[in-house]
Amino acid sequence: MAQSKPPTERIREYLGQLTPRTRGRLLTEAERLQLCGDDMTGFEVILVELRAEFRKDHTYDRVDHGSRYFFQPLEPIVAENTPERANFGQISRGSLAPIWEWINQDLLPTMARDYTNTMKQALGANNTREAQQVAAAFQNKVGKYLESTLGAADAADRARAALAMYTSSRAAFGDLNKMLCVLRARDALAEFNKSLPAKFNKFEDEQLAELRVRLDAFRTKNADAVPFALMMVVKRLKTPWQVIRFATKAARSKAAADIAATPYAIAVPMVLEQVDDRRLALRHTLRANRIPIAKDILTDIYNIERALRANWPS
């Protein structure tokens, strides 16, 4: 009797029967579920095989050059969180691959194919400026098409169902809507991001007032994109919870109703999300018995809690 093949070899044979695109989707979904805390026992060998194929450079970049240029306006607010854990001002990196696949396969297949071919020519000629212009033109086309596609309830339902063919994450549809918002405010967000310092070592009244003027100017024409502008600020804060001061300093009092009435009230749930992210990180480090790291995370949680108590009604 012929000896049965070892499990690893059988897994390699099974994966070899799938198309590269399907293997890539499988890896994306497996990593998303892993980040969500799902039990991946028995899946380790598959992850090792797929990562060996798609993560040779040890990065988590799942996109080709064309999609990289297309998603460039999103980079300042892209988060490594899963789509389910991306806050109001973030777009999960895990949503980019399925959204790109959906655009190419279902939404605008002909335009996407033309875009890819034109982009290859521009990049082949090392013409970065032309590549950026080509990407901007395609962003405009996708943005306009999405506005009409997502505008009606039945059309939005169809888009949600179509996107579900490329990812099991329901939150990816939310990231699609965020992407549309970012594309609408693409130039304004880029200008605002460029105006920010590399790092806010201190974020006191003077810095806050100066930045508030910039945000107010941004908000007059791009109110829907304020969460993304705030997230750009958060990334530059040495102490990220300080973003809450946009809401509390602008309020007439520390009463919840007054804080909620400010134009930057969304900063409050952003800080609460920071606490929840650290809670999940604490759970993972404790499971891995990494006690020194767990202590640092717990200290950070306590610091944020104290800050919230100082800025929030009792």
- The whole-number mean pLDDT for each consecutive block of 10 residues of the chain, a chain of 314 residues, reads 66 78 74 63 76 57 74 93 87 89 92 94 92 96 90 83 85 94 96 93 86 95 96 93 89 84 92 90 88 92 85 58
Helix (H, G, I), strand (E, B) or coil at 239: coil
Residue owning tokens 């982009």: 119
pLDDT at 60: 37
In a 10 Å sphere around its CB, with 0-12 CB exposed, 13-18 middle and 19+ buried, how is residue 198 labelled? exposed
User: Where do the domains of the chain lie?
Assistant: 1-59, 61-184, 188-308
Taking CA 185 as the corner, what is the angle to CA 180 and CA 191, rounded to the nearest 5 degrees? 140
pLDDT at 84: 84
pLDDT at 32: 66
In whole angstroms, give the CA distance from residue 275 to residue 303. Answer: 10
- The phi and psi torsions of 200 (rounded to 5 degrees) equal -100, 100
Helix (H, G, I), strand (E, B) or coil at 48: helix
The answer to whether 75 and 232 have CB atoms below 8 angstroms apart is no
pLDDT at 194: 95
Residue owning tokens 């777009």: 91
pLDDT at 57: 46
Residues facing 92 on adjacent strands: 79
Whole-number Cα distances in Å, 274 to 77, 186, 248, 305: 15, 26, 17, 11
